[in-house]
């Protein structure tokens, strides 16, 4: 496998600078192969992709927009029928089982063939190179582990090779359900130059070390799972010493996009993932407009995910990136679709990262969550940052102006915030949408 990996990694170093038309054609070739495979081998897709079949039997992608969008609840119900019966494992590699939380928190099991994992790992390795990280150096990983054995505190687990470019590098893993103090103790035993964790967890570590001299610092911190909120990069750089580098991925579809080395936005991993941004009606949005993120994973033939609505809202940017890479740009990932705030007059609003920045200026806090509890009532739940005073009236007036004139916003002080499946902290939650 390693020779395949090296060749693929070298190829990615070229495709990232390919003229866009050539990159699109390269991607369409992969989509056609996946469609052919899914129609032939997955009962779920046998009829679903019929609109792509030309009269001569070949695959024609011009009617791609008519392929039904795959929803999370469909996956929860039909994941077994989505899986392919026949796989050429000599070409695609062995299949491993993965588990994630489906809609409503129900677990779904799906297969991933090793070639897809190789592609995702190449995307991680390319990202590391973009940002000057060396795959041969050790990495510590703090996340939620769903498959047994879960690496609990105090031992955690040791494995090898976070990048296939350096299969011997040490990788230390600990389940993130350990307390922050336990995490700090565990990290101070391993002292790795790199950390991979959720950005809210990195911030929690940073705050916990606020007054003490840090027992360790990191060169780079890879951020997974959640949107990076304003203030996170600065805090992490100051308290943990390293640059926060964003990875946009999902458990089901692997790598979606990775952070540009020059600008804090994301480049789509077009060589392995097709990303579409669509409006409410399922059609493409105009440039600069927010829309739902649909993902097609191009190398997972074991359980194909085609036009999968991963439940996020993002904004694409059509302008070329100053770094010279031609990979499409996502300027912002705004978070979960279900977090739209709705009002009695039918208006909807997605609170954005800029709302968060402003809100923090009224209520200094370590962590916060803005919850719409009723049409007219919003709670700004926060974990206080020391005893600094808050400006409740300023917060109230700001939310009226930015979100909706009907809302009353109240600060609610809490000891901790509840997290969703996977340990994610949703910054904006509506109990109405
Ligand atoms: Zn760039």
- 245 CA distance to ligand 1 middle (Å): 13
Q: What is the mean pLDDT of residues 146-157?
A: 92
Question: Residue 353: its pLDDT value, please?
Answer: 57
Q: What is the mean pLDDT of residues 84-102?
A: 88
As a whole number, the mean pLDDT across the chain is 90
Four-residue CA torsion sign, 21, 27, 33, 38 = negative
Q: What is the mean pLDDT of residues 299-311?
A: 96
- 272 CA distance to ligand 1 middle (Å): 18
Q: What letter does residue 101 receive in the DSSP assignment? A: E
Q: Determine which of 105-119, 188-202, 380-394, 417-431 has the lowest per-residue pLDDT on average.
A: 417-431
**Structure confidence at residue 422 as a pLDDT band (50, 70, 90):** low
Q: What tens digit of pLDDT does each residue of 226-239 get?
A: 778 777 898 899 99
**Structure confidence at residue 425 as a pLDDT band (50, 70, 90):** confident
**343 Cβ contact list (under 8 Å, min separation 6):** 349, 375, 404, 406, 407
pLDDT at 314 over 70: yes
Q: What is the mean pLDDT of residues 89-114?
A: 85
Question: Residue 141: its pLDDT value, please?
Answer: 97
The ranges assigned to domains in the chain are 1-21+64-337, 340-430
Q: Which of 193, 189, 220, 230 lies closest to 124, judged by CA?
A: 220
**Structure confidence at residue 358 as a pLDDT band (50, 70, 90):** confident
Q: If 0-12 CB within 10 Å is exposed, 13-18 middle and 19+ buried, where does residue 148 land?
A: exposed
- 71 CA distance to ligand 1 middle (Å): 31
Q: Which of 274, 228, 229 lies closest to 254, judged by CA?
A: 274
pLDDT at 211 over 70: no
Q: What is the mean pLDDT of residues 350-363?
A: 73
- 321 CA distance to ligand 1 middle (Å): 5
pLDDT at 91 over 70: yes
Measured CA to CA, the distance from residue 429 to residue 419 in angstroms comes to 11
Q: Determine which of 60-69, 146-155, 203-212, 255-264 has the lowest per-residue pLDDT on average.
A: 203-212
pLDDT at 206 over 90: no
- 329 CA distance to ligand 1 middle (Å): 8
Q: What percent of the chain has pLDDT over 90?
A: 65
pLDDT at 433 over 70: no
Q: What is the mean pLDDT of residues 356-384?
A: 88
Distances 390 to 200, 360, 377, 402 between C-alpha atoms, Å: 22, 10, 19, 19
Count CB neighbours of 35 within 10 A.
22
More confident residue, 351 or 25: 25
Structure token pair of residue 397: 């007036």
Taking the CA atoms of residue 129, residue 134, residue 138 and residue 141 in that order, the dihedral angle to the nearest 10 degrees is -10
Q: What is the mean pLDDT of residues 367-379?
A: 91
Do 192 and 138 meet the contact criterion of CB atoms below 8 Å apart? Answer: yes
Measured CA to CA, the distance from residue 106 to residue 120 in angstroms comes to 25
Task: Find the helix or strand (DSSP H, E) in which 5 lies.
Answer: helix 2-15
- 128 CA distance to ligand 1 middle (Å): 14
Q: Fold match between 1-21+64-337 and 340-430? A: no
Q: What is the mean pLDDT of residues 415-423?
A: 76
Q: What tens digit of pLDDT does each residue of 171-180 get?
A: 999 998 888 8
Structure token pair of residue 389: 């005073």
pLDDT at 159 over 60: yes
- 264 CA distance to ligand 1 middle (Å): 9
Output the pTM of the full model: 0.86
CATH class of the domain whose range is 340-430: alpha beta
Which residues pair with residue 159 across a beta bridge? 171
Tell which CATH architecture fits domain 1-21+64-337.
3-Layer(aba) Sandwich (3.40)
- 318 CA distance to ligand 1 middle (Å): 12
- 401 CA distance to ligand 1 middle (Å): 34
Residues with CB under 5 A from ligand 1 (ion): 260, 321, 323, 325
């Amino acid at each position: 496998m390693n020779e395949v990996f090296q060749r693929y990694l070298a190829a990615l170093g070229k495709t990232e600078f390919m003229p866009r038309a050539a990159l699109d054609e390269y991607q369409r070739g992969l989509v056609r192969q996946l469609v052919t495979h899914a129609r032939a081998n997955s009962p779920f897709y046998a009829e679903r992709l019929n609109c792509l079949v030309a009269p001569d039997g070949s695959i024609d992608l011009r009617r791609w927009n008519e392929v039904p969008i795959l929803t999370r609840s469909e996956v929860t119900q039909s994941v077994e029928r989505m899986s392919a019966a026949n796989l050429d494992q000599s070409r695609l590699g062995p299949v491993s089982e993965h588990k994630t939380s489906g809609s409503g928190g129900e677990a779904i099991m799906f297969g991933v063939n090793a070639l897809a994992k190789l592609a995702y790992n190449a995307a991680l390795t390319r990202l590391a190179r973009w940002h000057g990280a060396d795959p041969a150096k050790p990495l510590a990983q703090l996340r939620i582990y769903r498959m047994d054995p879960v690496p609990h505190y105090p031992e955690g687990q040791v494995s090898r090779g976070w990048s296939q470019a350096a299969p011997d590098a040490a990788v230390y893993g600990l389940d993130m359900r350990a307390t922050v103090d336990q995490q700090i103790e565990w990290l101070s035993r391993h002292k790795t130059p790199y950390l991979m964790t959720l950005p809210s967890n990195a911030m929690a570590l940073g705050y916990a070390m606020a007054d003490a001299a840090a027992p360790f610092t990191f060169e780079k911190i890879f951020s997974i799972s959640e949107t990076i909120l304003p203030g996170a990069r600065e805090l992490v750089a100051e308290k943990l010493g390293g640059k926060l580098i964003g990875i946009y991925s999902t458990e089901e579809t692997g790598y979606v996009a990775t952070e540009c080395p020059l600008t804090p936005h994301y480049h789509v991993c077009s060589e392995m993932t097709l990303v579409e941004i669509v409006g409410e009606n399922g059609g493409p949005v105009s440039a600069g407009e927010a829309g739902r993120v649909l993902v097609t994973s191009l190398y997972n033939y074991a359980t194909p995910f085609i036009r999968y609505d991963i439940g996020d809202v993002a904004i694409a940017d059509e302008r070329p990136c100053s770094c010279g890479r031609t990979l499409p740009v996502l300027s912002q990932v705004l978070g979960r679709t279900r977090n739209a705030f709705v009002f009695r007059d039918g208006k909807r609003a997605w609170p954005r990262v800029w709302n968060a920045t402003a809100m923090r200026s009224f209520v200094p806090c370590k962590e916060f969550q803005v919850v719409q509890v009723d049409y007219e009532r919003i709670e700004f739940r926060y974990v206080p940052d020391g005893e600094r005073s808050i400006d409740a009236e300023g917060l109230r007036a700001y939310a009226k102006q930015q979100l909706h004139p009907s809302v009353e916003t109240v600060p609610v002080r809490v000891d901790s915030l509840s997290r969703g499946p996977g340990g994610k902290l949703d910054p904006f939650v509506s109990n109405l949408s």
